[in-house]
Amino acid sequence: MGGPMAANLAAAGHDVQGFDPAAPTPDGVTAAQDATAAVKEADVAITMLPNGAILRDVASAVLPAMRRGSVLLDCSTVDVESARAVAEMGADRGIAVLDAPVSGGTGGAAAGTLTFMVGGPEDAFATAKPLFDVMGAKAVHCGPSGSGQAAKICNNMILGITMIATCEAFALADRLGLDRQALYDVASTSSGQSWSLTTYCPAPGIGPKTPADNDYRPGFAADLMLKDLRLAQQAADASGADTPLGRAARDLYEAFVEREDGKGRDFSAMLTRFTRGD
């Protein structure tokens, strides 16, 4: 995700230095020796990291190297507590921190059409807005620190639940002898309509082209959906929210990824779980 985002910033004329120990440096980006070297002269430093623990470690390393008054823009999807802890670390050094997870997958990152859900100070959001405009199609300031992560996990809980429901409906249609295209034509223009159906249909050959038409090679991996659903349930447990469907979705994706054949496949491949043996 971070590679194409950096490439788009460089293509737009921004001076971008980058560091990634596991991926090549994108065209137009100057390779830095390490993370601290990459942020040393930056007005805005952008991170995209796997989880909250790594985010805290990286923030501990790069914040001391950043200039007072600069902005740390974290686009990782992590737990709310880690986002808020890093914001406090930044505030102690006079550095504004924005938690800005994204929606849109690797395709959206490459196309510059991501949606950013942003938490943190409004003035820092204004500073980063020109960068959001290059990397994405929309950026929403959701509130104080942690609000971006809260919006992301709530959004993806909806997505995980509706994708499972869409897959179940196609599997039921198959058993009832209902043509998949007929189901799509009805549900896509009536009360069953959802993004999971009309934009990211899990049934191959139905609706617009999706990962289902490419052998479920991931646009958004089932592993990442499981991560987000676990974060949602972690937040639900911590806040006392009752989310039985979110919990059920987490359990289904956990089984799909860890005990079945979902690992490394798109999250819409959940359909194959319900149609085995048909």
Q: Which residue has the tokens 């006079």?
A: 94
> Nearest-CA neighbor of 243 among 121, 153, 123, 175?
153
pTM: predicted TM-score of the whole model, two decimal places? 0.91
Domains delineated in the chain:
1-144 (3.40.50.720), 151-275 (1.10.1040.10)
Query: Mind listing the pLDDT tens digit of every residue in the chain (278 residues)?
Result: 899 999 999 999 999 999 998 889 999 999 999 999 999 999 999 999 999 999 999 999 999 999 999 999 999 999 999 999 999 999 999 999 999 999 888 888 999 999 999 999 999 999 999 999 999 999 999 999 999 999 999 999 999 999 999 999 999 999 999 999 999 999 999 999 999 999 999 999 999 999 999 999 998 999 999 999 999 999 999 999 999 999 999 999 999 999 999 999 999 999 999 998 66
Q: Choose the catalytic residue: 40, 129, 138, 152.
A: 152
The string over 9-37, giving b where at least 16 C-beta atoms fall within 10 Å of a residue's C-beta and e elsewhere, is bbeeebebbbbbeeeebbebbeebeebbe
Residue 215 identity (one-letter amino acid): D
Query: How many Cβ atoms from other residues are within 10 Å of residue 104's Cβ?
Result: 21
Is 152 in the active site? Answer: yes
